[in-house]
Amino acid sequence: MSEVGAMAVHTDPNAAPINEVDDSRRKFLTFATGATAVVGAALAAVPFVESWNPSERARALGAPVEVDLSKVDVGQLITPIWRTQVVYVVRRPSELVAKLAQHDDLLKDPGSEDSTQPAYARNEMRSRTAEFLVTIGYCTHLGCLPKPFFEPGGILGADWPGGFRCPCHGSRFDMAARVFKGSPAPTNLVVPPYSYRNATTLVIGSENGSAQEAG
């Protein structure tokens, strides 16, 4: 036999049989594929598992909201959001507050006996102070947002004292958010819990001036 032929048939006595090599490769590929699938499933599950935990926004839904009143002008309405609800905060002109008692006979619930508000807002002004009105902005009829018509008289008639009118079904509310007779809204606008941390900081959702208390 030639030297070339001898080299062609020479084999390593310690080498593994071809069948064993193929089996080893097959097992490795099977393991690698399975491991990749497990890792992929785990990564896909991360967003799903995280969805069980409340988001930062969800945690904040019940938290009080601080409002800077220093930049609110007389006669201005601002609309902060508390617990996903629009809140109306109005710096009322003193002359309109002074006239609130003059149209009680035109109101459905002038004393707010059948309406919703904290005890400290169950008064003629429906507020802690005469200067600021704080109320949930949804009409108590079907939940539309009443529009401000703070100027007395005007397009709402000579006897209009200033307040809000709902664009959906015409419910009217005065500058204390009290509903007028003839309106489809059954009660006055809702007053949420609130307080003042200082002279210029309103805290909606807290009754002790603390932004840490969920009201």
Residues 170-190, mean pLDDT to the nearest whole number: 98
> pLDDT (tens digit, 9 = 90+) per residue, 133-155?
999 999 999 999 999 999 999 99
Contacts of residue 162, Cβ cutoff 8 Å, sequence gap at least 6 = 93, 96, 149, 150, 151, 152, 174, 175
Q: Is 137 helix (H, G, I), strand (E, B) or coil?
A: coil
Q: Tell the CATH superfamily of the 63-204 domain.
A: Rieske [2Fe-2S] iron-sulphur domain (2.102.10.10)
> pLDDT (tens digit, 9 = 90+) per residue, 51-91?
344 445 644 567 999 999 999 999 999 999 999 999 999 99
Q: Could you please report the per-residue DSSP string of 29-45?
A: HHHHHHHHHHHHHHHHH
CA-nearest of 173, 191, 204 to 126 is 191
Distance CA 19, CA 147 (A): 84
> pLDDT (tens digit, 9 = 90+) per residue, 151-167?
999 999 999 999 999 99
Q: What are the sequence ranges of the domains in the chain?
A: 3-50, 63-204
Q: What is the pLDDT of residue 49?
A: 41
> What's the pLDDT band for 102 if we cut at 50, 70, 90?
very high
